[in-house]
Structure 1
Amino acid sequence: KYKFKIKKILLQKLNEKKELTKKLENELQEMKKLAQEKDNLSKEYLEYLKRLQADFENYKKQQEKKKKEFIEFANEKLLNNLLPVVDNLEKALDSTKNENNLETIKQGINNILKDFHNILMREGVHPIKALDQKFDPYKHEAVMSFETDKYPEDTVTEELRKGYYIKSKVLRPAMVKVAILTKQKKNTEKEN
């Protein structure tokens, strides 16, 4: 009886261990399958990342090439507009060989200057108004000053070199001469 019970218990334990082993083997197979899927997925992501990185590198190279081309040819339109002015200067120079008429030469140079101004206007370049304006360090470069009572202090009295805007930005400030009050006038103003 006891042997039978022990045998039954041992068989039961053996069956439980077999079931547990089978269950663990199934779980192990499931884990291996999941690990393989994750491994495959990580390989796919890695390949995708490599392709993405290569695409990005190609994109950067394309953008760099476009940037170089843009810089290289950015002034092409402006330079093309200047070529007729060069042609006119060459014609004016040639005409001085045959003519002694100073007025004709002056008129030719004046026409060329008008051509230049027209090109500048088309490109958005226009002069800064300086004469009789209050000195503005953003638009004017004071290279001379003089004491006077004829002008209010910090008034631009002479434009030594024109300044220009490109659109609304200062391209080059105007070189100017600025009025400052005489010491006598300053003292009078301080007293009042």
Structure 2
Amino acid sequence: MATKGSKSPKNKTSNPRKSSSKKINESNLASKFKELNSSFEQEKEKFLRLFAEFENYKKRTSKERLELFKTANQEVISSLIPVLDDFNRANQQIEKGDKNIDVDGFILIYNKFFEVLKSNGLSSTTAKIGDSFDAEIHEAITQIPAPTDADKGKIIDIVETGYQLGERIIRYPKVVVGQ
């Protein structure tokens, strides 16, 4: 007989309702787990495909960019060939000993050369003697004593012209600045 304070062992199968609901929960959990695992695998596959697709995209655009640079370079070089031909003809005249070489011919070649570069987007910068020196758009190669107080901080001489390609400066004008 059971005494006060002692507990009688519980029968695990004493409540059939709890047992069947536990089995239902386990089967629901198992099906939910399978469903979530399947969904996870599908998402993982999508991710891997997307990652591979992105890697291929990067490779393709890298190749296209290299090809574009090659093509752009080819176009510029092709447009400079006629100028090279003109210099070659002038050089042949010099080699023949023609002392009456016309300076105007060289000026024409220079103008043709500059026009080819201009048609490819090159332009000279607008630095002028007397302009204020600006470190953002000028390169000071030296400073000399200014002839007047008004010339302090101003451009005294332009040693090399600066150039820009489109809006981007590719060579800053090299200037002498008054101090």
Q: Is the TM-score greater than 0.5? A: yes
Equivalent position of 2:41 in the other structure: 43
Structure with the largest fraction of helix: 1
Larger radius of gyration: 1
Equivalent position of 2:6 in the other structure: none
Give the CA deviation at 1:114: 0.5
Equivalent position of 2:32 in the other structure: 34
Equivalent position of 1:171 in the other structure: 170
Give the CA deviation at 1:42: 1.2
Secondary structure of 2:144 counterpart? strand
Contact 2:124 2:162 in 1 (8 A): yes
The reply to whether residue 107 of structure 1 matches residue 104 of structure 2 is yes
Q: Where in structure 1 are there 5+ consecutive unaligned residues?
A: 1-12, 181-192
Deviating beyond 4 angstroms after TM superposition, the runs of 4 or more aligned structure 1 residues are: 13-16
Give the CA deviation at 1:49: 1.5
Contact 2:140 2:177 in 1 (8 A): no
Query: What's the TM-score, normalizing by structure 1?
Result: 0.70
Contact 1:139 1:174 in 2 (8 A): yes
Secondary structure of 2:27 counterpart? helix
Q: Structure 1's 175 and 14: CA in aligned 2 closer, same or farther, altered over 3 A?
A: closer
Q: Where in structure 2 are there 5+ consecutive unaligned residues?
A: 1-10
Percentage identity across paired residues of the two chains: 19
- CA RMSD in angstroms comes to 2.9
Q: Structure 1's 100 and 48: CA in aligned 2 closer, same or farther, altered over 3 A?
A: same
* Number of matched pairs: 167
Give the CA deviation at 1:89: 1.2
Q: CA deviation digits over 1:11-46, x for unaligned, max 9?
A: xx9997334333332332222211111111111111
Query: What's the TM-score, normalizing by structure 2?
Result: 0.75
Could you tell me which of 84, 106, 126 is aligned with 2:123? 126
Amino acid at match of 1:123: N
The reply to whether residue 18 of structure 1 matches residue 12 of structure 2 is no
